[in-house]
Amino acid sequence: MTDELIKKDAVEIRDLLIGDDITPLDLIDALESRTHAIDPKVNAVPTCCFDRARTHAKALMAKPIEERGMLAGLPVLIKDLSNVAGVRSTQGSPIFADFIPDQSDYVVQDLEAAGGIVTGKSNTPEFGAGANTFNEVFGKTLNPWDTSKSAAGSSGGAAVALATGMAWLAHGSDLGGSLRNPASFNGIVGMRPSPGRVASGPMANPFDTLSVDGPMARNVADLALMLDAMAAHTPHHPISLETPETSYLSAASHQDKPLKVAFSLNLGITPVDPAVSDACQKAAQKLAANGVEVIETHPDFSMAHDSFQTLRAHGFASGLNDLYENNRDQLKPEVVWNIERGLNLSAGDIAKAERQRGEIYQNAAAFMADVDLLITPATIVPPYPVDDRYVSQCNGVEFDTYIDWLAIAYAITLTSLPAISVPCGMTDQGLPVGLQLVGKPRGEAHLLSHAHWVETVLGRMATPISPQA
């Protein structure tokens, strides 16, 4: 029964739970068997908590089915940047290698309140810094389409777990593309929602709007279900939005065709690998062939590099300064560089970056008033060798920092617009390519509806798969 369950979509599994055709314990057994068989080959879920999951499942099963929440006992994975009470939660850092928290983060509390059962923690780079999932605690996570390649990051473990059938739904987070890049590299779906749509924290800077928590799944409908379970208002998060009145799964089911989309290969700010360019151009042509008006244009993102680099550094300095002062020798070089850059900023530097971000948002919001979607590559390269710490050049262009190659994602981060990565094709080497769909301000419902239609036109990836050397 394990293989049969693993291959089903999350929405179908949830319906079987509601119909009392299967139990949460059946699903936990299936995932435990799958994880023991698959994870040694990819290292995506280094921390499992199946005993805790069974305890939660039994407590949930003691309730009437109608009181078990919208997930009704469906297992979920939590990225190892978020705490789960009673479960080793490391942040991918030697500093917290043995930390076991007493309290779960808000997003975990919301998922469990919605009937989600946490079965494990997915691997992440140290403090989510960098888009290649490796750390000194657990090592490297490998891409299942080619285990010599990177899974991207920082939600790389979550994406690999989904692609290989070790999860139906997974939690991730995104600052500069950390939900979208690994979705692209692994042939699954990842969404960066609007800031405040999913409660984050507790954290040092609860007013932060650059980093958000969000859902990952194998397809758009499953992702919409996960977002429904995550999008709960909490007064403990000061920018938390109200719980939506209409479910995102219902919105996604409409599959509304976008009438007019803007397509840009590079947003005017980044090189793009030819294999990615080719796959995304073919995807745009498919949309046009299906009656969508596709225009090649984009908002002005010329200030995105300066603004994001400054605001990111400021965020690292404000959030991790205590660790820098007390545990500097245990931090990886990229984290130290980001913190020190932040500490050396002047008030004028930060003020300028905030003004630039404001102008970027105004440009993007005005631009989106005239189109249903902005479409770009989700990331600019196919999966690269896992032993490369980051992408240092693309299409003949050398990058100055370890995050420059993420510009096509972090430019959208600056706008606070919701964005989703959906698979759009494969390279000649058989590696997935993702298409980034950007929606209107706080427009998750319409974005999911359009994304489901796009997914139908472009086709889903054949996941779950077994890891391939």
Residue range 420-425: mean pLDDT, rounded: 98
Catalytic residue among 79, 121, 332, 440: 79
- How buried is residue 348: exposed, middle or buried, by Cβ count under 10 Å (0-12/13-18/19+)? exposed
Residue range 321-334: mean pLDDT, rounded: 96
Q: Are 281 and 265 in contact (CB under 8 A)?
A: yes
Catalytic status, residue 466: no
Nearest CA among 76, 156, 112, 145 for reference residue 390 = 156
Mean pLDDT of the chain: 98
pLDDT for res 1? 74
Angstrom CA distances, 251 to 195, 224, 228, 374, 379, stand at 20, 8, 11, 19, 26
pLDDT for res 88? 98
Residue range 6-20: mean pLDDT, rounded: 98
What are the pLDDT digits (tens) for 80-113?
Answer: 999 999 999 999 999 999 999 999 999 999 999 9
pLDDT for res 465? 98
Catalytic status, residue 178: yes
pLDDT for res 416? 98
Residue range 305-314: mean pLDDT, rounded: 98
Evaluate the omega torsion of the peptide bond into residue 33 and state whether it is cis, within 30 degrees of 0: no
The C-alpha atoms of residue 405 and residue 398 are separated, in whole angstroms, by: 9
- How buried is residue 178: exposed, middle or buried, by Cβ count under 10 Å (0-12/13-18/19+)? buried
Residue range 300-315: mean pLDDT, rounded: 98
Where along the chain do its domains lie?
2-458
Catalytic residue among 93, 150, 154, 173: 154
pLDDT for res 91? 98
- Give 27's pLDDT tier (boundaries 50, 70, 90): very high
Catalytic residue among 93, 178, 200, 211: 178
For residue 2, pLDDT over 90 is answered with no
Catalytic status, residue 154: yes
For residue 142, pLDDT over 80 is answered with yes
Q: Which CATH class is domain 2-458?
A: alpha beta
Residues 6+ apart with CB under 8 A from 425: 279, 280, 282, 283, 432, 433, 458
The tokens describing 164, both together, are: 């290989």
For the chain, give the percent of residues with pLDDT over 70.
100
